[in-house]
């Protein structure tokens, strides 16, 4: 119920205000409410039923120990506060402060269990002590430890590689004699290429040879040869060889190395011709002597 205020009147003995009985009733009612509220807030300590050691100070709960001194434990909130639910252990346990947690984490006990604990500065010292910069890497590569474990003789610089390529040992094993004996590919120089080149007379002699004739199963006349040369099959696969009859004035557009037959290309006489892209023209190959039996 609300607090009851005694009306004291305007002046003494002027007949205004509450009489003594009414005032006493209001006082009793106020004390009854006050004692009821205090009883509801009472903490039962032992059998005394007192609030010994607990007080309130400026929105703070103050706990005083057995010794009444200047050291107390205070519970308070930071303003503005919010809705918080703080759960305490239901049977036994300890409520730890942040400072207490830090002390436990940094304790020798934790270090003993997990190994040595390091802060950031200690970690940097360890990282730097076990890292190498560029100078240290170079020193490591050039160290006697590495040198003793490398087979230096198996490494060649550019001069040694050139000397090896030009050596008699290599040259001896890449010539045509060695290739013929071992079946390995040979490296040809310009003189060797000339040895394996045939002119038109040699080509004709090869075609007319007994070796070719003995192994030929189909004989073609000139018209059939012309038809075969002009066929799409040959044209698609032998674009560099064109044996149709051309004159100097009707030679086709060529690409480097293309061979054609020109009826008047050798001062009015027939010849083969190969296109030279550097010169932009066909270079003639004169035909040899007439074939005979």
Show me where the domains of the chain are located: 158-192, 198-286
- Supply the DSSP symbol for 80: S
Nearest to 159 by CA among 149, 167, 151: 167
Question: For the CA atoms of 215, 218, 222, 228, what is the dihedral angle to 10 degrees?
Answer: -110
How is 162-230 classified by DSSP, letter by letter? HHHHTSHHHHHHTSHHHHHHH-------HHHHHHT---HHHHHHHHTSHHHHHH------HHHHHHHHT
- Cα–chain-centroid distance for residue 133? 23
Tens-digit pLDDT string for the chain (293 aa): 677 888 887 877 777 788 888 888 988 888 888 877 766 665 444 444 456 788 888 888 888 888 888 888 888 888 888 888 888 777 777 777 777 777 766 666 666 666 666 666 777 777 777 787 888 888 887 788 877 777 666 666 667 777 887 888 877 666 665 566 666 555 555 555 555 556 666 767 777 777 766 666 555 555 665 666 566 655 554 446 777 889 999 998 878 888 888 889 888 888 888 888 888 899 888 777 777 76
Kindly list the distances between the CA atom of residue 13 and the CA atoms of 10, 17, 24, 55, 97, in Å, as whole numbers in the listed order. 9, 9, 17, 43, 64
- Burial (CB < 10 A; 0-12, 13-18, 19+), residue 272, is buried
What pairs with residue 54 in β-bridges?
63
Per DSSP bridges, beta strands 259-266 and 241-246 are parallel
Q: Which residues of 111-145 are buried (b: 16+ CB within 10 A; e: fewer)?
A: eeeeeeeeeeeeeeeeeeeeeeeeeeeeeeeeeee
User: What angle is formed at CA 65 by the lines to CA 60 and CA 69, rounded to 5 degrees?
Assistant: 85
- Cα–chain-centroid distance for residue 81? 49
Q: Which residues of 44-76 are buried (b: 16+ CB within 10 A; e: fewer)?
A: eeeeeeeeeeeeeeeeeeeeeeeeeeeeeeeee
What SS3 class is residue 36?
Answer: helix
């Amino acid at each position: 119920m609300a607090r009851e205020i005694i009306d004291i009147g305007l002046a003494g003995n002027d007949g205004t205000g509450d009489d003594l009985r009414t005032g006493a009733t209001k006082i009793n009612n106020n004390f009854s409410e006050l004692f009821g509220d205090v009883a509801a807030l009472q903490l039962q300590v032992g059998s005394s039923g007192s609030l010994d050691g607990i007080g309130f100070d400026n929105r703070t709960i103050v706990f005083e120990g057995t010794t009444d001194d200047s050291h107390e434990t205070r519970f308070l909130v930071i303003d503005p506060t919010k809705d918080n639910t703080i759960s305490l252990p239901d049977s036994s346990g300890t409520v730890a402060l942040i400072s207490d947690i830090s002390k436990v984490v940094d304790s020798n006990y934790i270090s003993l269990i997990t190994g040595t604990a390091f802060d950031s500065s200690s970690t940097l010292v360890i990282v730097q002590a076990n890292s190498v910069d560029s100078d240290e890497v170079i020193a490591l590569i050039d160290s006697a430890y590495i040198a003793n474990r490398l087979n230096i003789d198996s490494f060649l610089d550019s001069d040694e590689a050139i000397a090896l390529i030009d050596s008699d040992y290599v040259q001896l094993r890449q010539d045509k004699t060695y290739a013929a004996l071992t079946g390995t590919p040979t490296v040809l120089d310009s003189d060797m290429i000339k040895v394996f080149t045939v002119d038109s007379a040699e080509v004709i002699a090869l075609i007319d040879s007994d070796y070719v004739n003995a192994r030929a199963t189909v004989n073609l006349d000139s018209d059939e040869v012309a038809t075969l040369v002009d066929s799409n099959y040959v044209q698609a696969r032998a674009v560099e060889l064109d044996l149709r009859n051309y004159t100097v004035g009707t030679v086709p557009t060529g690409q480097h190395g293309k061979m054609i037959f020109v009826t008047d290309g050798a001062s009015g006489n027939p010849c083969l011709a190969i296109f030279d892209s550097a010169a932009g023209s066909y270079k003639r190959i004169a035909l040899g002597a007439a074939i005979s039996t």
